[in-house]
Amino acid sequence: MFSELAVYESGLKHWVSIRQTGQYPSNESAGEEPIIFHQPPNCVLEWSTSIESGICMANVCEDWVPESFWRKAYNLSSGEGYRLTAWEQTDMLMEPFGITLKDLFDANMIAQYNFHGHYFSDGKDLDDILHFRCIPADEYWGGGVVDEMRRMAANPMIRAMFPTAEQMKEHNIEIGHKEGGTYWALENNKEDWIKAFFGSREKRDAIKSWDEGYELFHPSEEVTYLDHGYDEEKGLENLDIEDLKKAAAFRGGECLEEKAPADIYTPPIKWKCADGHEFMMSVNAVLQGGHWCPECLAHECSMEISQK
């Protein structure tokens, strides 16, 4: 987050931040990290394939990329067909072995809040420019990934070596005891982590078990937009000081300038967050990049760095 902000505020004219969603296949080591406990069962990722991600990165370097592409952040995904909840993906991948998410985790040990997964209402914007999407989701998941899992499950040698659901769950619990895992947070009284994961200890204790009726569902894909306090149809370059003040008020803060800057990229202007911290940041970083108070953000980042 701080690294991206530094690029936003660099004054460079030809840069782009491409924000990657979950990429499949993921790094094998990711399954050994406590992040496997951080994603709520009904939380979604709009996945991207490694192939299409590579094409996207290659196309960034082409000379046909328009000038309007630069100095922005974009979300990279493979499209609506790649929208899967945590439980849907686990069940789909493990179905050939007769295993589901419920077999691998206790419901009250998976975080309920604050994972970064979501759908992208603007996911197509990047593909409209860089033209990287080329694999239909049903072919990728059903004709590729799941078929491969079925071939593995049908192979007697692989089947014999494949861990049972009980063994996999036991190993997951070991991972959950690593720093940053939910077991670790509860056992070591890491109240900030517990609050981030569950809301509170009391809320965690109230979570239903699978047998008691913990509900699994696929969240609605209906597009809804927040009112960010100002007229977004105007375009950032056309905002006046009242627009900037309204945008800051939406975040619980203030814009401390008397007039809007002539350039949304430089120089940075003065803002104040809800906690009273004053900071300098460009209009582009705040309203296009979604950045805000660095002092408040530092605490959130310290938890993430500690986890890693």
**Under 8 Å between Cβ of 254 and 235:** no
Can you tell me the distance from the alpha carbon of 78 to that of 69, in angstroms, rounded to the nearest whole number? Answer: 19
Q: Where would I find the beta strands (DSSP E) of 214-302?
A: 254-255, 269-272, 278-281
Domain boundaries, the chain: 14-224, 232-305
**Under 8 Å between Cβ of 76 and 21:** yes
**Under 8 Å between Cβ of 40 and 111:** yes
pLDDT of residue 308: 37
pLDDT of residue 302: 43
Which pTM value belongs to this model?
0.87
pLDDT of residue 38: 96
Where are the alpha helices (H) located in the chain, listed in sequence order?
2-8, 50-60, 86-94, 101-104, 123-130, 137-140, 147-154, 156-161, 165-176, 182-187, 191-198, 201-205, 241-250, 283, 294-307
pLDDT of residue 300: 60
User: Is 144 buried (19+), middle (13-18) or exposed (0-12) by CB count in 10 A?
Assistant: middle
**pLDDT means over runs of 10, the chain (308 residues):** 91 94 82 94 95 97 97 96 96 96 98 92 95 96 92 94 96 97 98 96 97 97 92 94 97 97 94 97 96 86 40
